[in-house]
Amino acid sequence: MKSATSTLHEQLALQPGFFMSTPKEPNFFSDDDIYNLGLDWYSDLFSKAEIDDICGESSTHYTKLPDYPQTLERMRSYLPSLKLIYVVRHPIDRLISHYMHQWSQNVIKTDINQAIEQFDELINYSRYSMQISPYIKQYGAENIHIVFSEALRVRPQYELEKVATFLGYSKPVIWYDDLPEQNVSSQRVRRFNGYKLIVDNPILAWLRRTFIPQSFRDKVKNRLTLQMRPEIDEHHKQKLTQIFNEDLAVLGSMLNVELTLQNYKEKAQTIDVRLTSDKSTMGMRS
């Protein structure tokens, strides 16, 4: 979540021989109401794929422990063998972006420091070793590929090639630079009751633009927009540093590299992930 999964999904969908699901995030194995639709519903998402296509989906709920505890059990009963890609970013950057999204959706109504205390998922979804460890145990490290979103930004073609190789795709792949940015959260506007009716309705939009002065519209929009990047206070920085450094130490041991909050961005942009066949560890070469 908030780590460029949408971007990678769209890039893979453009490669011949890939079939990526619509919707991008069916969340079939995680969400009870979706799972109750049945396996036929899930299989039908890929019914238009060619026989030799590599099929994929990008449900971020699958790594949202402990909120979706039955995900892996359901997955392994239906998909005993598969390839998994886990896209990560700097844990605090992801937390802040997650907070901004939930703020815009009117789910979180407090400042970020209060939210850290009240909403466990802000921390839990950035604890990457905790999220990925059950999948390593079930499917083996050789079937899991970690993508650092920071590397995806600085060397996208190379990272896409690594993903394709991991998935057993032998044809050339092309990274398309001209795609619109996916899942942008830089200009989040807070939702409110009746938002879709008032904002998305074309007739009301025309009336608004025609009869309401721009200055007044800008004033209202500014009140609903998160103007500045949320600031984490020193107390919570120390708390997050301890939690995430402990988690990154475990992740780093899986990857045979030292990972901390302090060196994360540098390492993420330069390391070259190579998975081993050992089911308990992952290997990394620089």
Residue 132 and residue 274 in one domain: yes
Residue 216 and residue 179 in one domain: no
By DSSP bridging, strand 272-274 and strand 283-285 are antiparallel
Handedness of CA 20, 10, 195, 120 (dihedral sign): positive
Residue 178 and residue 212 in one domain: no
Three-state SS sequence of 170-207: CCCCCCCCCCCCCCCCCCCECCCCCHHHHHHCHHHHHH
Last residue of a domain, one of 176, 207, 224: 224
Q: Which two tokens stand for residue 107?
A: 């789910």
Residue 62 and residue 154 in one domain: yes
Residue 93 and residue 201 in one domain: no
Q: Which two tokens stand for residue 184?
A: 């942008």
Per-block average pLDDT, block size 10, for the chain (286 residues)?
A: 86 96 97 97 96 96 97 95 95 95 90 97 97 95 94 94 95 89 55 56 68 61 63 97 97 92 93 54 34
pLDDT given at position 213 = 72
* Residue 147 near residue 120 (C-beta atoms within 8 A): no
Contacts of 265 (CB under 8 A, 6+ apart): 90, 150
Strand partners, 54: 18
Residue 121 and residue 87 in one domain: yes
Q: What is the DSSP string of 63-81?
A: G-TTTSTTHHHHHHHH-SS
Residue 214 and residue 280 in one domain: no
What's the predicted TM-score (pTM) here?
0.80
Structural Rg of the chain based on CA atoms: 21
Strand partners, 20: 56
Residue 181 and residue 127 in one domain: yes
Residue 79 and residue 208 in one domain: no
Residue 252 and residue 124 in one domain: yes
Query: How many domains does the chain contain in total?
Result: 2
Which residues form the domain of 95? 5-190+233-285
